[in-house]
Homo-oligomer: A and B are copies of this chain.
Amino acid sequence: MISLEEARTRILAALAPTPAETVALPEAWGRVTARPVAARLTQPPADVSAMDGYAVRAADAVQGAVLRQAGQAPAGHPYAGNVGPGEAVRIFTGGFVPPGADAILLQEDAKADGGRVTATETVRPGRWIRPRGLDFAEGEVLIAEGRRLTARDIGLAAAANHPWITVRRRPRIGILATGDEIALPGEPIPAGGIVSSNAHALAALVRAGGGEPLVLPIAPDDTVAIAEAARAARACDLLVTTGGASVGDHDLVQKALGPEGFALDFWQIAMRPGKPLIWGRLGVTPVLGLPGNPVSALVCGVQFLLPALAVLSGLPGGAPPTARVSAGSALAENDKRFDHLRAALTTDAEGRLVATPFAKQDSSMLATLARAEALILRAPFAPALPAGAVVEAILLADLGI
């Protein structure tokens, strides 16, 4: 058996980011930049007013002074002239500060009457002016390569005048469920069979990880059918199979893919749920074979497939993010396998997150998995812990899965 960390490291080391594509700005949200985004202009493009009021010479605008309103400078309509001594120009937030002015008299600090403006407070030089380039300067790199774009980044790229963004192509993930016993929802269920849940759960996980799932037709337990389905996946960045990865007589995935040029690595991983894993390469396509057990498939999806999607997307790969939470009940000593306890989350009186493992941890129970809000991580040979101890947990909602 190899450790979970070693398995993940070996998987991630074999993957590389997808090629770039150019998309329109509104499509770039959630995508990963393949090139840095630099400012194409300076923002603000000139000294601008931060408030509604009057552009003035600070030396003039002392309390009680009466100024002559010479014009106005709303946003988008700069004042054509200079602000001369004793003059004020009506200005609004974002308006360009006209030459000659060096401060903004707030409208609440002024009384306007006909063409006259009386200052009711003294203005300090530079007050309420945002200097040219306060936000960013032309040429400045605003967004690095390899960043997943947030809504704020989209706003920033827009402000920097980018209608197009170059991003990594979404990783295309083929998903192949195998087994004589499975049928898709709504289809006739074979005798002794069950409804297939892994393919579409994994497809949703792939979407959550920013990938594009390609759900292949279910392959029966037959080497010819599996090999044929796998050939259809050669255009994928990664082929994920589910089922057929244990050590029984019915482990056909390995047998089927061998003649297709499959360079195989078969691992027993010291983890629970999810011991057996196939890893290899079919021509140029990496292949990740997950267990058929739905809970094992999902937990392996979190530990291996989401990090793989990150690397394929041009992001750093690594362990899924964890949070430190309080154990809601005592935890038994762990054995040699890295364990993932399905748990509910609550918040204690001090506002700390508390993760309480479910009593039944059977790895076939999808309903329990769906109810889980966290996976408490238990390292191999982790000692018994009392309730209230601090433990690491994967918060499933944070991963969108």
Contacts and interface: CB of A to CB of B under 8 A. Distances in A.
Given A52-B248, A324-B352, A396 B155 contact: no
Interface string A1-45: 000000000000000000000000110011000000000010111
A181 to B, nearest CB: 3
Interface stretch (A81-89, A186-194, A277-285, A310-318): A186-194
Interface string A177-190: 00111101110011
Interface in A57-80: 74-78
Contacts of A30: 207, 400
Given A30-B400, A248-B107, A155 B370 contact: yes
Interface stretch (A198-206, A226-234, A256-264, A326-334): A198-206
A33 B346 CA distance: 23
Given A130-B362, A194-B43, A370-B142, A155 B294 contact: yes
Please tell me the size bucket of the interface on A.
35 or more
B52 A364 contact: no
A126 interface: no
B364 A179 contact: no
Contacts of A109: none
A292 interface: yes
A95 B221 CA distance: 14
A41 B17 CA distance: 42
Given A29-B203, A158-B197, 15 more contacts: A26-B215, A29-B208, A74-B248, A74-B250, A76-B192, A76-B221, A95-B192, A151-B204, A151-B207, A151-B401, A152-B369, A152-B401, A158-B196, A163-B184, A324-B351
Q: Rank and list the top 3 A-B pairs by shortest CB-CB distance, nearest first.
A: A76-B181, A155-B201, A163-B186
